[in-house]
Structure 1
């Protein structure tokens, strides 16, 4: 299932060239991904952190294709993929779209870890949803 949210470029994210600074594209993806995790996966990151479970990123790859500019309204998408090796990881395929064209695309991978330390894992509620997700072959 692809999940999307609409955003508008914030003025403070514009650099001296008049485009969005590369640092902020992952933030827009994070806003969307966190809403997806809560609304679709049913995992409340803040609540789980209070319970001692942290969802963390382990890596990401991002490709910048076009720049966003001041005032642009754009869409960010997020979809879930499972790990091809069956590891306790989840992968998120994300894109930023402007006027029907991809400006930025990324794969972000993560897992859950106990706040007190310990091995990575996925909660049962997420494992069930990952079973139905396409496999990430990367």
Structure 2
């Protein structure tokens, strides 16, 4: 969890669907990975990167490490927000810090840290188009705004 809402670069609101809950009536742990993935895809689209087009060009983002710290459960029909911050780690790795908060009370639900690398035709690579889009975003964006 970051210290302030202004620390994040991007946020996405969602709602829990009934089928995402287990017998306990709470969101199944595995579903949170889908939530975080969806937010990352929406973030990439917001900065001008088309995930499907990149795949057609042989470029894929691959999660190499996922750390999830579950704090409280979400339940059916809960509204929540995913907030995201990204930074580069070395040349090929991008680390996404993603936190989930229940709405409207802003209850802290989950802290996620997802590390991804880019592959071009199965080999580690950082294509210029992606590097430029992400670096342009990181240079222009200061924490506190919404993407």
Q: What is the TM-score normalised by the length of structure 2?
A: 0.79
CA distance in 1, matches of 2:59, 2:22: 36
Match of 1:10 in 2: 17
Match of 2:3 in 1: none
The structure with higher relative contact order (CA 8 Å, sep 6+) is 2
Aligned counterpart for 2:44 among listed residues 22, 37, 44: 37
1:66 aligns with 2:72: yes
CA distance in 2, matches of 1:2, 1:95: 12
Assess if the C-alpha contact under 8 Å between 1:89 and 1:121 holds in 2.
Answer: no
CA distance in 2, matches of 1:33, 1:20: 19
Match of 2:109 in 1: 103
CA distance in 1, matches of 2:30, 2:19: 12
CA distance in 1, matches of 2:31, 2:60: 23
Assess if the C-alpha contact under 8 Å between 2:93 and 2:115 holds in 1.
Answer: yes
CA distance in 2, matches of 1:12, 1:105: 23
Where has structure 1 moved over 6 Å in runs of 4 or more?
Answer: none
Q: What is the TM-score normalised by the length of structure 1?
A: 0.84
Structure 2: tracts of 5 or more residues without a match: 1-7, 143-147
CA distance in 1, matches of 2:10, 2:49: 15
Aligned counterpart for 1:121 among listed residues 116, 126, 130: 126
Task: Summarize deviations over 1:90-127 as a string: whole Å, max 9, x none.
Answer: 11110110121210111101121012x32343533245
The change in CA–CA distance for 1:3 and 1:127 in structure 2 (over 3 A counts) is closer
Structure 1: tracts of 5 or more residues without a match: none
Q: Equivalences for 1:52-63 in 2 at 5 Å? A: 52-63=58-69
The change in CA–CA distance for 1:39 and 1:125 in structure 2 (over 3 A counts) is same
